[in-house]
Amino acid sequence: MKNIIPRWSRIMSNDEKKDDIKKGLIGIVVDETTISKVMPDINSLTYRGYPVQDLCENCRFEEVAFLVWHGNLPNTLELKKFETEERENRRISINLTKIIEHMPKRSHPMDVARTAVSVMALEDKETSDNSPEANMRKALRIFAKIPTVLGAFYRIRKGKKIIKPKKNLTFAQNFFYMCFGKVPQKEIVQAFDVSLILYAEHGFNVSTFTARTITSSLSDMHGAVTGAIASLKGPLHGGANEKVMELMSKIKSPDKAKKWINNAIKNKEVIMGFGHRVYKSGDSRVPTMKKHFLKVAKIKKDKKLHKIYKILEEVMLKKKNIHPNMDFPSGPAYHLMGFDIDFFTPIFVVARITGWTAHIIEQHAANRLIRPLAKYKGEKHRKVVLLNQR
């Protein structure tokens, strides 16, 4: 009979190798995915093989959401059916509406989004059903309702009446309508729509990996999305777009920008909106988002933000050779569209629901519990001393 070594003992021996530790899991490939990839040969983020800039140029967000979930761009009939289902599911329950109405007005909208998804889990009859079909239905419901939740809170905290969603508006148009009571110029709607496409998915980032880790325990989709939202809130992830706008507000005017950035570099401060772990030659999403940010700036007759942007970008490239990331143009773009700063990351949620839920479904399809190890560096074996002898 073979001498069978227990799996845990093999793992323990490997764990003791000094070179095994990879802080932040840098460079570690933990699984496979067919959803997205940053392709170095074309320096582009791709969804199911399509470069995002091409998708932004030729598709609306609804088409891209369908692509991320189903693997292919929809034809006319498929898109019509998808849009009908999404629009039919926009309404939120009276119960959830009342809960939002009673939330403290000072609450961060990310916390509102996280709580709302938990409430949706309580209301959804398929919460515990992790079949592919049920998960797809739940993904669509969360996707359709999150904008309604955020729109409702946006109004409530300003002392205004909640505006219910309209079925005859596109996904992007409807969000503006629920927040502001009107739909802006088509160029602004398009810029917003483009931002949703660019934020929809981005591989095994922190929030997506969080969602997959939760899913790996065979937890439910709502729980995994809730965890992803909590992860996205952090300033080193989704919250960076808020920090970018706070930074620009702090600088105040273009004539102060150069001095500010030079001092920040000199003092080795963290400058939000620059650098990315995945991209070495610049975030491939930035040129597209920057183009639309500048369009919005022109429409809104902006005299400061686009100039501050240009100065910070040029100095960082010249002195540090660090490119801006997606958060750098999206932050000021959302500000000029009229959104409050603390709503920037929730808009990220509106988009990333697509990527998260696609990864949750993919994780379920070939699941294995995600259970990494840690190298212990604490106290060695000690004996317990009785209380009266300590």
Select which of 327, 335, 359, 364 is catalytic: 327
Residue 352 has φ and ψ, to the nearest 5°, of -75, -10
Select which of 108, 129, 237, 340 is catalytic: 237
Residue 160 has φ and ψ, to the nearest 5°, of -110, 160
Greatest Cα pair distance, the chain, in angstroms, is: 80
Q: Does 323 qualify as catalytic in the annotation?
A: no
Which residues lie below 8 Å from residue 344, measured CB to CB, with a gap of 6+? 241, 242, 245, 330, 331, 334, 335
User: Taking a C-beta distance cutoff of 8 angstroms, is the pair 338, 180 a contact?
Assistant: yes
Burial class (CB in 10 A: 0-12, 13-18, 19+), 78: middle
236 residue type, one letter: L
- Between helix 132-156 and helix 109-123 the angle, nearest 10°, is 140
239 closest CA partner among 84, 110, 371: 110
Select which of 124, 202, 222, 276 is catalytic: 276
Q: Does 255 qualify as catalytic in the annotation?
A: no
User: Taking a C-beta distance cutoff of 8 angstroms, is the pair 313, 229 a contact?
Assistant: no
Q: Does 108 qualify as catalytic in the annotation?
A: no
User: Taking a C-beta distance cutoff of 8 angstroms, is the pair 201, 352 a contact?
Assistant: yes
Structure tokens at 76: 């006319």
Active-site amino acid positions: 237, 276, 327
